[in-house]
């Protein structure tokens, strides 16, 4: 299997991240509360140790920062999908 660079994707970063989404229309106070609680959990040593042990990096963030990250990756990967004419099965 070729590397990303060998496949023609020079300087391409293909990281993976995970996050929580709420349904559209979820009240802002509920989103804020969920965000606070999730960030508290991510700050515990046990969770940080577990995420680090599997090669991850805990990255607590605000809903706005998470939305920005998702939007940036949507544009980035959307362009790749379009350029490579990738289709879902």
Higher pLDDT, 76 or 62: 62
Q: What is the pLDDT of residue 8?
A: 83
Q: In which residue are the tokens 């879902």 written?
A: 88
Q: What is the pLDDT of residue 15?
A: 79
How many residues are there in the chain?
A: 89
Q: In which residue are the tokens 């020079």 written?
A: 10
Q: What is the pLDDT of residue 49?
A: 97
Do 53 and 43 meet the contact criterion of CB atoms below 8 Å apart?
no
Domain ranges of the chain: 27-65
Degrees (nearest 5) of the Cα angle 12, 59, 52? 85
Q: Residue 76 pLDDT more than 80?
A: yes
Q: What is the pLDDT of residue 4?
A: 80
> What digits encode the pLDDT tens for the residues 3-61?
888 888 787 777 788 999 999 999 999 999 999 999 999 999 999 999 999 999 999 99
């Amino acid at each position: 299997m070729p590397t990303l660079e060998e496949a023609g994707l020079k300087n391409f970063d293909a990281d993976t991240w995970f996050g929580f989404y709420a349904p559209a229309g979820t009240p802002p106070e509920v989103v804020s509360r969920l965000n606070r609680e999730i960030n508290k959990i991510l700050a515990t040593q046990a969770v940080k140790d577990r995420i680090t042990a599997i090669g991850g990096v805990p990255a607590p963030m605000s809903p706005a920062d998470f939305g920005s990250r998702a939007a940036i990756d949507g544009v980035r990967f959307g362009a790749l999908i379009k350029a490579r004419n990738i289709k879902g099965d």
